[in-house]
Structure 1
Amino acid sequence: MEDNAELESFRRQWREEVTRRSKPKTGTPPAPTPTAPPLSRLPPTRHEAAHRNEVEEEGPPLASFDPDELAQQVGELSVQPAEEDFSRREAVEPTSALEHFERAVEKEAEGNLGDSLTHYRKAYRLDSAVDKSYRNKHYSHVWKRPNQPTPAQATTTQLQAAEVETVPTQELIASFAHLPIPQAESIIENTPPPPCPIAAMPSEVIAEILNHVALDDPSTFARMALVCKRMAYHFAHDQPTWKGLCQASKFGFGGMHYDFACDVLGLPIYTLGSRYTPFPKDEPVEVPPPLSSWRQVFQSLPRIRYTGVYISTVNYTRPGATAAYSNVSWNSPIHIVTYYRYLRFYPDGSVISLLTSTEPVDVVPYISRENVAAALTPANRKHKRNASDHGQSLSGAADPLPAVASNALKHARRGRWHLASPTNTPEPSDSAWKPESGATEKPLLSDQRDIIIETEGVDSRYVNTMHLSLRSSTIPKAAQASPAPPNPSKNTKLAWKGFWSYNKISEEWGEFGIPNDRAYVFRRVRGWGLE
């Protein structure tokens, strides 16, 4: 009986201790209901990164451009695909000051500030005016201004500009509807030009061809608008093509997830209910206001891209150690530390997250679920430690996964993702996480551009939760400050809103500090997502 009484006393004290620890502190949201699954809950508080203003990369306003300069820039437009293969090329070591300066600019654009600073120093040691030489070589057409016209010429130009009627862009493109597709010029003078079979095709056939091109690769469809005026008209006004592209699963919103579709390891979650999609094919759908066309829907609404990788380049400085023989600290070295974060999304709702100091050219081509599984296998780790640096196995056969990539992928984390619901309705489990009455903060998923990512933790007890938001590098600052900007993100950036760790045993949240981390920027990789 004494043992039972002591056991009951211990149980009572343990329950009281658990109840006291689970009670929320003053000023914090109440604890979640135990009926909600732990991994579907949102973190209890807003992260300090949610109030960070990401610096947007904006160009100068179009009105400030010189007409000649603008015409020259338009003439330099290219139809080459904006994709990269991330292959390392043989780099010749620079010798002159200008070559060092060009290499420094290239390294700075990649985010490698340490090597960039080294080349800048070498360039200025060889030539103190190397920046002027670089400007004259690469930006002479920008800095060169036309001669100032005389007052009579200025008056004539103003009168001619007043007589020219300005046509809106939409009307201008609509006037291209009946223009023929121009044939190619003659290769040899006074000979017939090469045939152009597409020039004689009806508009319906051309629209059907472009529809297949758009469903296969939207970027190729967009580049076709630069071919001629007729193609530009089809690109802007073929609404059935854009509607089918929005409803498709390969690149459109039919492939987006607004709830978790798999677990952290990528295994699918099977449910009896139908998966939500904003534009179902079996129901009549309309363009959501304030948008006016399906082209704007595809280009504006939040959408994850599968044809590349999102990269965050982080640089920060830390002081070095003072020399043992020196008593002063003013000449202590300053180290520039550079590391990268990678995110690759998959259409099935899984994601790969990687934090490493390995440069993109060495690791991006090998970021895949198969390579991550191989790198995380204990037997493969032992094999890699015994392999040579050239990616050769012990048997001498060529290894498809280089050692530098395998060492980086050992730290990869598998996970899952989902976007916020476009209906802006709080999730059932979100009601328990709302701030107390009187608080001014909104729920975490109050913006349809938000995305939640859950990845593996340091061990099976933990799950990491990343709260990001889709952004664009061309949104005006005035629109960014508003809760519902008129031009939503074009999905080229992922801005930080928070980063937490969740303990599945104690059901406690831990906040990661990310003071130096910057937004992810999308980089398309050749061949990804086009299988």
Structure 2
Amino acid sequence: MEAQGLMSDAVTLYRQAFKLNERVDLLYRSNKIPQVKKITNPINEELVKKINVEKLILSFQDSEPTSPSLIDDNGEDEEGQLTQKFSKLMTGPSPLTKLSNDIWIYIMEILIEKSPESWISLSLVCKKFAYLGFSPSIFRHLATMIYPPQRYEENEELDYQLSTTDDDLPVPKNQLKILPSYNNSWKYMLFHRPFIKFNGCYISIINYYSEGSRAEFSNSWTNPVRTITYYRYLRFFPDGKVLKVLTTLEPTRVIPHLQRSNYVVSNILDQVKGNRDGHRIYHGRWIMNTDGEVHITIDEGSVPYYIFHYHFKIVNMGHNRFGKLSWIKYYTVRIQGEEEDIGEVSELGLKNEKPFKFSRVRSYE
């Protein structure tokens, strides 16, 4: 509940748990959280930071797989039992390692598209696969997958009827033309050039506290306080479409409905309450610039006589590159009403707004 932002429900469950056992937190850690063995020789973090990773991987160029060993020098494992049966099965590397590098790189390119986790896992198997899995050709494949579907406002300003070749675009589709701007390094480009992700959903969780009033004839000195949680959802599409939802429903009940053909998040509770409209899914457009600023426009928002404009900055979320959208500004433009009011811009406050964090959704892939 806490991970989903439902703080009020989480506090209630915490209280119930501690009433059952005052040491419930210690019992949980001892049974559910893996116990990490104390490292006798701790890693020197300062020395690790000095390692040139690219140079280290490049040194694996001529590495070949070696036969793994399940037996120590005495012919026994840590438990003191012979493992000759297993060692016979592991007398040499897999025949698959005899495949050419080109074939392995092709396999890894398929994994990048179908299962990125498998690509990373395979690249960490041995030195040879580390050299192949993090090679410039792999990063190039990633770049050519990620950047052409991005929609840049620099390109949108051109008349596509007159733009017949890639050379006419300020931001070319051919990534080789952009590579010199990023030290001629595909990896450097991926680490420094922002992009929108399409294989998931961006979620913003907002919590605020609502103070109620004491019951009649109550002797309490304090007023009850309730935590209110609501969510904003954004799903982007490569063709410039975007879906937006503002609701109190948690992600598991909303994300499956974020499809192009849907305009409402229907659920059983709404039907019971007689709310046939459910939670509205707003359809809009998105565009970004080369600096990583995203502009979203919702023409038919919650108020029909306003156009809603959202401006975000694509930033890193820890190790998750470009996994967060930070607010820049939020405003509306009036399109109906008195003639003197049309075109009026109203700035909306961002005090209570939270950034959007990207969450991968397998069903979107």
Q: Same fold judged by TM-score > 0.5?
A: yes
Among 343, 356, 359, which residue is 1:507 paired with? Answer: 343
CA distance in 1, matches of 2:89, 2:138: 35
8 Å contact kept, 2:203–2:358: yes
CA distance in 1, matches of 2:130, 2:272: 47
Q: Which residue identity does 2:59 align to in structure 1?
A: S
Q: CA distance change for structure 1 residues 403 and 473 in 2, over 3 Å: closer, same or farther?
A: farther
3-state secondary structure, aligned to 1:132 = helix
Q: What is the CA-CA distance between 1:413 and the residue it aligns to?
A: 0.8
Q: Which residue of 2 aligns with 1:461?
A: 305
Q: Which residue identity does 1:494 align to in structure 2?
A: L
Q: Which residue of 1 aligns with 2:282?
A: 413
Q: Which residue of 1 aligns with 2:108?
A: 210
CA distance in 2, matches of 1:169, 1:199: 24
Question: What percent identity do the matched residue pairs reach?
Answer: 26
8 Å contact kept, 1:224–1:231: yes
Q: CA distance change for structure 1 residues 512 and 271 in 2, over 3 Å: closer, same or farther?
A: farther
Q: What is the CA-CA distance between 1:196 and the residue it aligns to?
A: 3.1
Alpha-carbon displacement from aligned partner over 1:376-418 (angstroms, at most 9, x marks no partner): 9xxxxxxx8xxx9499xxxxxxxxxx999x9686411100111
Q: What is the CA-CA distance between 1:131 and the residue it aligns to?
A: 3.0
Q: Which residue of 1 aligns with 2:86?
A: 189
Q: CA distance change for structure 1 residues 459 and 332 in 2, over 3 Å: closer, same or farther?
A: closer
Which one scores higher on RCO, CA 8 angstroms, separation ≥ 6? 1
3-state secondary structure, aligned to 2:227 = strand
8 Å contact kept, 1:256–1:277: no
Q: Which residue of 2 aligns with 1:39?
A: none
Q: CA distance change for structure 1 residues 115 and 136 in 2, over 3 Å: closer, same or farther?
A: same
Q: How high is the TM-score relative to the length of structure 2? A: 0.78
Q: What is the CA-CA distance between 1:260 and the residue it aligns to?
A: 9.3
Q: Which residue identity does 1:527 align to in structure 2?
A: S
Q: Which residue identity does 2:148 align to in structure 1?
A: G
Q: Tell me, yes or no, if structure 1 residue 174 matches structure 2 residue 49.
A: no
Q: Tell me, yes or no, if structure 1 residue 253 matches structure 2 residue 147.
A: yes
Q: What is the CA-CA distance between 1:281 and the residue it aligns to?
A: 2.4
Q: CA distance change for structure 1 residues 309 and 146 in 2, over 3 Å: closer, same or farther?
A: closer
The equivalences for 1:53-452 within 5 A come to 107-138=1-32, 141=35, 168-181=52-65, 188-189=85-86, 191-193=88-90, 196-216=94-114, 218-237=116-135, 239-248=136-145, 252-259=146-153, 271-273=161-163, 276=169, 278-281=171-174, 284-289=177-182, 293-326=185-218, 330-372=221-263, 375=264, 389=268, 410-420=279-289, 422=290, 448-452=291-295
Q: Which residue of 1 aligns with 2:79?
A: none
Q: What is the CA-CA distance between 1:270 and the residue it aligns to?
A: 6.1
Alpha-carbon displacement from aligned partner over 1:336-372 (angstroms, at most 9, x marks no partner): 0011110000010100000001111111112111122
Q: CA distance change for structure 1 residues 355 and 224 in 2, over 3 Å: closer, same or farther?
A: same
Q: What is the CA-CA distance between 1:204 and the residue it aligns to?
A: 2.6
3-state secondary structure, aligned to 1:453 = strand
8 Å contact kept, 1:247–1:279: no
8 Å contact kept, 2:210–2:225: yes
8 Å contact kept, 2:293–2:313: yes
8 Å contact kept, 2:179–2:189: no
CA distance in 2, matches of 1:359, 1:509: 32
3-state secondary structure, aligned to 1:254 = coil
8 Å contact kept, 2:155–2:170: no
Q: What is the CA-CA distance between 1:320 and the residue it aligns to?
A: 1.0
Q: CA distance change for structure 1 residues 281 and 260 in 2, over 3 Å: closer, same or farther?
A: closer
CA distance in 1, matches of 2:85, 2:276: 57
Q: Which residue identity does 2:141 align to in structure 1?
A: G
Q: What is the CA-CA distance between 1:185 and the residue it aligns to?
A: 8.1
Q: Which residue identity does 1:245 align to in structure 2?
A: L
Q: CA distance change for structure 1 residues 190 and 113 in 2, over 3 Å: closer, same or farther?
A: closer
Q: What is the CA-CA distance between 1:305 and the residue it aligns to?
A: 0.6
8 Å contact kept, 1:344–1:367: yes
**Structure 2: any 5+ residue segments left out of the alignment?**
71-83, 337-341
CA distance in 1, matches of 2:66, 2:104: 14
Q: Which residue of 1 aligns with 2:80?
A: none
**Structure 1: any 5+ residue segments left out of the alignment?**
1-106, 263-268, 377-383, 392-401, 423-447, 476-488
Alpha-carbon displacement from aligned partner over 1:71-91 (angstroms, at most 9, x marks no partner): xxxxxxxxxxxxxxxxxxxxx
Alpha-carbon displacement from aligned partner over 1:9-67 (angstroms, at most 9, x marks no partner): xxxxxxxxxxxxxxxxxxxxxxxxxxxxxxxxxxxxxxxxxxxxxxxxxxxxxxxxxxx
CA distance in 2, matches of 1:209, 1:494: 33
Q: How high is the TM-score relative to the length of structure 1? A: 0.55
8 Å contact kept, 1:320–1:332: yes
8 Å contact kept, 1:246–1:279: no
8 Å contact kept, 2:179–2:185: no
Q: What is the CA-CA distance between 1:461 and the residue it aligns to?
A: 2.8
Alpha-carbon displacement from aligned partner over 1:111-149 (angstroms, at most 9, x marks no partner): 11111100111122223333333344455746x7568x9
CA distance in 2, matches of 1:205, 1:120: 53
CA distance in 2, matches of 1:365, 1:353: 13
Q: Which residue identity does 1:303 align to in structure 2?
A: F
CA distance in 1, matches of 2:258, 2:272: 13
Q: Say which one has the larger Rg.
A: 1
Alpha-carbon displacement from aligned partner over 1:464-512 (angstroms, at most 9, x marks no partner): 100111112228xxxxxxxxxxxxx822111111211111241011222
CA distance in 1, matches of 2:184, 2:318: 20
Q: Which residue identity does 2:97 align to in structure 1?
A: A
Q: Which residue identity does 1:258 align to in structure 2?
A: Y
